[in-house]
Amino acid sequence: MNYKSYKLYLTLLSLVFISKLSAQKFDKKYQENFKTNKDVEVIIDATNTDINVTTWNKNEVQINAYIEVEGVSKEEAQKYFDNWEFEALSNKRKVNIQSLDNLKKGFKNNFVFFDNMDFDFEMPDIDFSSFETIVLPEMNFDFDFNFDNILIDIDENMGKNGKYDFRWKDDDHDIVITSKEEWEAFKKTKEYKSLKEKLKIDKEKIRKEIAESKEQLKIEMKKAKEDYEKIDKEQIKNELAKAKAELKKLKLNFNSDKNEIIINGKTVKITKRLEIKVPKKATFNLNTRHCKVKLPNTVAVGNVKYGTFIADNLIDGKLEIDYSKVTINDLNACTLFLNNVTDAKIASVTNTTMSNNSSSVNVANINEDVIVIDKFGLFTVENFKPNFANFSITLSQSEAILYLNDVPSKFKYQVNKVKLDNKAAKNPLNASTTNIIKVNGDYSTITIK
């Protein structure tokens, strides 16, 4: 056994002690009940929260709110509980529900997030055969990290391998960039200059926190050294093996979509959840960010950003959904805006207008009277109802694939530089049908089968 191995053992030993502390979970629950009208409007303003809504046969709204914190002490967990801005207020006509982060006291939104900024290290194999001869050595803590390239030279990092992926979210900004054009435009703004200054400040803040962490680690190592002779050697072997397995999982990962943050080298997981029961005729007004939202049969309006949206039947609503995964069973008499939604699945659409930008949308069934406007995306329809009446699609630098199968239809085109492949045009029943597909657009591709 060599000198370097001793250092590794001691480091692993301290990580075992830390991992036992970080495994703790603490939770808190709130409940609110309100007597309401049967058609009550439920207004939800939330961030980083799982929201599940169900209906019942009562003129009453019930909210069960849960928060769980993992990886900190009981006292530290209480601070997160206190910083959760949960509130529910009501009268007969409206219920206002709020689930927000206190950004001034929190940590997560003080960072600028670049996707794939991961720092991995290799974990060498450990030979336990000579473990009994361990002598605990002195360790050198005079190491440092270079944050200059990460935090300052963002222009050099941006666009590597042709990828542009940048997010800036704090109290005053909510900026997402996914292309070179957006990045070049952003560099001309005053927000860009503000960002450069902010990163200088954050760099010094992180360096200070690391320095404090090193001092704390020195103290922990000293204590471990003093306690070493008191610990059963066989037990240490087992604990070190566990620590090795945990080290293989460790990764410093800046990602705004996770409910995790790194504080002084510790992973803290925060989970917030709302379970809401409403009358069957309740309607919803949504303003959610980084949330998973699940709705029943209902009317919904508002905005959903950076999350997941699942709904059964949406009726007579107006929703804008950005950067989220979307699953909807039925759209009826709705107006739906999808922006940068790479995975949208809708089972059926009726009397609805859809406007899609830079999105991939799959519709299983078109029932009747549907209007689609699609830019820079892919729009697919798997099936048309025999009497779908009118279907209008306007494309701009997009691709559309429509499966008419044996359903007859007339066609009307108003296009410019559109590649059109209509294999359904030869259906002998087309001349006698009242169905019509109107195709408008430019610089696009449409295939009808």
Q: What is the pLDDT of residues 213-229, one digit of tens each?
A: 767 777 777 777 666 66
On the question of pLDDT at 108 being above 50, the answer is: no
* Alpha helices (H) in 23-130, listed in sequence order: 74-83
Query: Is residue 402 helix, strand or coil?
Result: strand
What distances in angstroms separate CA 225 from CA 7, 22, 48, 229, 252, one per listed residue?
A: 12, 21, 41, 8, 27
Q: For the segment 27-65, what is each residue's pLDDT rounded down to a tens digit?
A: 999 999 999 999 999 999 999 999 999 999 999 999 999
H helices of 23-119, where? 74-83
Q: Is the pLDDT of residue 112 over 80?
A: no
pLDDT at residue 231 greater than cutoff 80:
no
- Domain locations in the chain as residue ranges: 307-448
Q: What is the mean pLDDT of the chain?
A: 80
Least confident among 75-84, 279-288, 292-301? 75-84
Closest to 182 in 3D by CA, of 321, 343, 376: 376
Model confidence band, residue 178 (pLDDT cutoffs 50, 70, 90): confident
Q: How confident is the model at residue 355, as a pLDDT?
A: 97
Pull the structure tokens for residue 250.
Answer: 């460790």
The band of 445, judged by pLDDT with boundaries at 50, 70 and 90, is very high
Read off the pLDDT of each residue in 334-359 and give the average, rounded to a whole number: 96
Give the model's confidence band at 24: pLDDT under 50 very low, under 70 low, under 90 confident, else very high: confident
User: Does the structure show a pLDDT above 50 at 89?
Assistant: yes
For residue 396, the SS3 value is strand
Higher pLDDT, 336 or 125: 336
Under the banding of pLDDT at 50, 70 and 90, the label for residue 249 is very low
Mean pLDDT of 369-394: 96
Q: What are the b/e assignments for 22-38, b being 16+ CB within 10 Å? A: beeebebeeebebebee
The answer to whether 43 touches 96, Cβ cutoff 8 Å, is yes
pLDDT at 270 over 90: no
Q: For residue 195, name the pLDDT band (cuts at 50, 70, 90).
A: confident
Is pLDDT above 90 for 199?
Answer: no
Q: What's the pLDDT band for 402 if we cut at 50, 70, 90?
A: very high
How high is the pLDDT of residue 186?
82
Q: How much is the pTM?
A: 0.62
Percent of the chain surpassing pLDDT 90: 51
Amino acid 406: pLDDT: 92
* Mean pLDDT computed over 266-293: 93
Mean pLDDT for the stretch of residues 134-156: 52
Amino acid letter, 399: E
